[in-house]
Amino acid sequence: MSQWIEDIAKGKDAVLFGIHMYGPGVLALIKVLLLLIPALILVPGLIWWERRLLSWMQDRIGPNRTGTITVPDNFPIKGLRGKKQRTAGLLQPIADGLKLFLKEDITPASIDRKVYFLAPAIALFPAFAIGGTLPWGSAYLPFGDAVGGIYSLLTPVANVDIGILYVLAISSLGVYGVVLAGYSSNNKYSLMGGLRSSAQLISYELAMGTALASIVLASGSLRMTDMVRVQEQALWGVLPAVQNWFVLTPFGLVGAVIFLICMIAETNRAPFDLPEAENELIAGYHTEYSSMKFAVFFMGEYAAMFFFSGVFAAVFLGGYNLLPLNYEYLATHGWNFLGQDMGGFWRGMAWFNYWAGPAIFVGKCVVGITFFIWLRATLPRLRYDQLMGLGWKTLLPLGISNLIIVGLWIVATKLWGIGGGWAAWAAAAAVLVIIYLNIASLSKKDEMAFGGRSVEMKDPSPRRTVKMVDPNKV
Amino acid sequence: MTPNQIVFLVLAFIAVMASAGVVVFGANAVRSALFLVLNFFVLGFIYFTLGAQLLGITQIMVYAGAIMVLFLFVIMMLQLHHGPQLKKYQDAKRPLAWLIGLGIFCLVFTQVIQKLSMTSQSPVTDEYGTPKAVGLVLYSTYSWPFEVTSVLLLIGVVGSILLAKRRI
C-alpha cells in the first residue's frame, strides 16, 4: 500500500490501474463513457441548481420539498422515529424526469412524422459530441515535460490535430435539431422558432470562430491539449510564477467575452432564447413536443451548456488547473515564507493540482453554468434586430480586430522581444479604438439625419393621471 | 477484406444512398436538403479515413454546418410544398435516363473496382492532411492561387452586398 502511495506521489507509470493493458477499442469505449456518464449524472443536478439559484435570485423559494425523507414509526432505532431529513429538493429533477417519461405522448396529426421523431435525436447528438476533444486531466506529469500518467490514457476522447475546429464544426451542426423540430411540427410558431434559431446560429458562429482563431494564433496549435499546456507558461512571457491563462491576457480577455456571448447564443439560452421566446412563440420549436421527446430537448440543452462551459474553461480558464500559479516554478525557486522553506508545500500543491484535475475541470464547468443561470435571471431577452446588430455589428468586427492585433503582437514579439510585442499591441489597440470612435460618431450623425427610431410626442404630458385612493376612507 | 476496406465501403454506401436520397426518394425539398446534409457529413468522414483531417472538418463545418443551414432556411422560408404530381405514362425520357445512368455506372464501376480491390490501405502518411502540413503547402508552394482565391471571395462579398442592399 505504501509503495502504491509512493508510486502515486512519483507519478510512476505503474499507477495506471492496468488500463494501459486494454486494446484501443476498449480504451476508446472507456474514454467515451468517462466523458458521457458524468455529464448524464450531472444534468439533473444542474436542473435542480438552476431552479434553486433562479428562485433565490428572484426572491422565491423554489422546489425545496421533494426528497424529504421521514423515518417510519416502526424503525428499529427509537431516537430516529418520525425524524425528517431534508435534501433541499434535490430529488425534484428525478421526479420531473419520471413525470415526463410517464406522461401521455401526444403526436399532432399533420406533421412530417419521420423528421418529427428524428429531430430530438439530432438535437441530442451534437450536444454530447462537443466534449469529444476536451481534456479533463493533465497528460503531463508535474515536474518535467514527460507525457505519462493515467490522464494521458483517458483524456481527451480524441486528441486530434483539429481539436478546436471540431468544436466549431459540431456546434454548427447543433442547429439542425431545432430547425427540423420547428419545420416538422407544422406549426407557425415552431417554424418561426426554427428559422430564428438558424439565423441566430449562423450569425454568432462567425464571431465565435474569430474569438477562437485569435487564441489559436496565440497558442500556435489547434489541439485542445496544447492550448491548455500553453496556458501553463509564464504570464505575458515575463512572470514565471503565474500561469498565462488566456483570460488574463488582454487579447484573451476580449476573445473570452466574445466567446462567452456567442456560447450563450449558440445554446439558445436567455437572453438569446429567441427560438423559444415564450411570450411571442408559445414555446418556439418544441411547442408540439411532449413527454419524452421534450425531455430529450431539455437534456440536450443542459448537456450543450455543460460542454460549452468545458470548452470555455479549457481554452480561456486554464483547463484543469485550480489556480493560475506555476507550482513547479515556485517549488524549485525556493520562495521562503517567514523563514520557512515552502518548497514542500508547493510540491504538494502541484501534485494535488494534478490529481484533482478532473474535479477542478467539472467545477469550472459548473461555474460556467452558474454564469448562464445568472445571466438568465438578470438580462431581459434581446429584440430580434438587437440580436442581429450585436452579432454582426459589434462582436464580429471586435473579433476580427482582435485577430489582427494578435497577429501584430506575435510579429512584434518575434522582431523586438516581449516588451516590443506588448508596445505594438497597445499601439494597435489605441489606433483601433480611435477608428471605432470616429465611425461611431459618423453613424450617430447619420441616425440624426434620418430621424432614428424615436417618436416625438406632440403632448408629452402623461395621458392619464393615477388617482390616489386612501384605503381608510373607502 | 481488410478493416480499412470495410470502413470505406460502409461510409461509401451511406454517402451513395444519401446522394440518391437527394434526388430519388420523394419530391420533398426539405428531405432532399437533409439527405444532402448527410451526404456532406459522411463525405467528411471519408476524408478522415484518408488522413485529410483539415479537409474533412472543413467539409463538415462549412457545407454541413453553414451552407446547408442556409439552404434549409431558404426552403422553409419559401414553404415549398409539392403539389399533386401529374404522371406521364409514356415518357421516353425515363428509359433513356435509366440507360444513361446504368451506362455511366458501369463505366465508373469497371474503372474503380479494379483499383479498389487491390487497395487495402490508404497510401498517405499520418502527417498528410494535418493543419500544419496543409498550411505549409498553402502558404509556400500555392500562395499565389491562395491569394487569388481570397480576392475572388472578396469580390463575392462585395457583389452580394451590392445585390442585397438597395441603398448603400
Say how far apart CA A288 and CA B76 lie, in whole Å. 18
Give A30 to chain B, closest Cα distance, Å.
Answer: 22
The three cell numbers locating residue A380? 431581459
Q: What pLDDT band is residue A20 in, cutting at 50, 70 and 90?
A: low
The three cell numbers locating residue A404? 489582427
- Which of the two residues, A69 and A11, has the higher pLDDT score? A69
Computed on alpha carbons and rounded to an integer, the radius of gyration of chain B in Å comes to 21
| pLDDT (average), residues A160-164 | 85
Q: What pLDDT band is residue A141 in, cutting at 50, 70 and 90?
A: confident
Do residues A150 and A14 touch, judged by C-beta distance below 8 A?
no
The confidence score (pLDDT) of residue A106 equals 82
| pLDDT (average), residues B100-105 | 92
Interface of B with A (CB under 8 A): 28, 30-31, 34, 37, 41, 53-54, 57-58, 60-61, 64-66, 69-70, 72-73, 76-77, 130-132
Q: What pLDDT band is residue A14 in, cutting at 50, 70 and 90?
A: very low
Do residues A52 and A42 touch, judged by C-beta distance below 8 A?
no
Strand pairing class (A69-70; A84-85): antiparallel
Q: What is the pLDDT of residues A270-289, one digit of tens each?
A: 788 887 777 888 877 888 88
- Which of the two residues, B155 and A19, has the higher pLDDT score? B155
Neighbouring CB atoms inside 10 A of A265's CB total 26
> Is A161 close to B132, i.e. CB distance below 8 A?
yes
Q: What is the pLDDT of residues B56-75, one digit of tens each?
A: 888 888 888 888 888 888 88
pLDDT of A378 above 60: yes
> Is B57 close to A166, i.e. CB distance below 8 A?
yes
State yes or no: cis peptide before A271, omega within 30 of 0: yes
Q: How high does pLDDT run on average in chain B?
A: 83
Residue B73 has its nearest CB partner, among A161, A166, A199, at: A199
Residue type, A242: V
Helix (H) or strand (E) holding A336: strand A336-337
- Which of the two residues, B41 and B84, has the higher pLDDT score? B41
Residue B73 has its nearest CB partner, among A168, A195, A205, at: A195
| pLDDT (average), residues B89-98 | 82
Q: How high does pLDDT run on average in chain A?
A: 81
| pLDDT (average), residues A230-249 | 81
CATH no. of B1-82+113-124: 1.20.120.1200
Do residues B146 and B138 touch, judged by C-beta distance below 8 A?
yes
DSSP labels for A103-133? S-----SSS-HHHHHHHHHHHHHHHHHGGGG
Residues of chain A in contact with residue B37, where contact means CB-CB under 8 angstroms, are 176
A435-A441-A446-A450 Cα dihedral, nearest 10 degrees? 150
Q: Give the domain ranges of chain B.
A: 1-82+113-124, 130-168
Do residues A329 and A321 touch, judged by C-beta distance below 8 A?
no
- Which of the two residues, B46 and B4, has the higher pLDDT score? B46
Residue type, A460: P
pLDDT of A330 above 70: yes
Q: What pLDDT band is residue B150 in, cutting at 50, 70 and 90?
A: very high
Length reported for chain A = 474
List Cα–Cα distances, A353 to A140, A221, A323, in angstroms: 12, 24, 9
Do residues A252 and A245 touch, judged by C-beta distance below 8 A?
yes
> Is B60 close to A160, i.e. CB distance below 8 A?
no
Cross-strand partners of A235? A239
Cross-strand partners of A336? A341
- Which of the two residues, A145 and A110, has the higher pLDDT score? A110
Residues of chain A in contact with residue B131, where contact means CB-CB under 8 angstroms, are 161-162, 165, 222
3-class DSSP state of A5: helix
The confidence score (pLDDT) of residue A327 equals 79
In chain A, whose CA is at the least distance from the CA of B41?
A: A173
pLDDT of A395 above 70: yes
- The answer to whether the complex's ipTM is over 0.85 is no
Residue B53 has its nearest CB partner, among A160, A175, A205, at: A160
Say how far apart CA A417 and CA A411 lie, in whole Å. 9
The three cell numbers locating residue B42? 459522411
3-class DSSP state of A69: strand
The confidence score (pLDDT) of residue A2 equals 47
Residue type, A268: N
The confidence score (pLDDT) of residue A234 equals 78
Q: Give the domain ranges of chain A.
A: 9-62+103-333+353-390
pLDDT of A150 above 80: no
Helix, strand, coil tally for chain A in percent (to 5): 65, 5, 30
3-class DSSP state of A325: strand
Do residues B70 and B82 touch, judged by C-beta distance below 8 A?
no
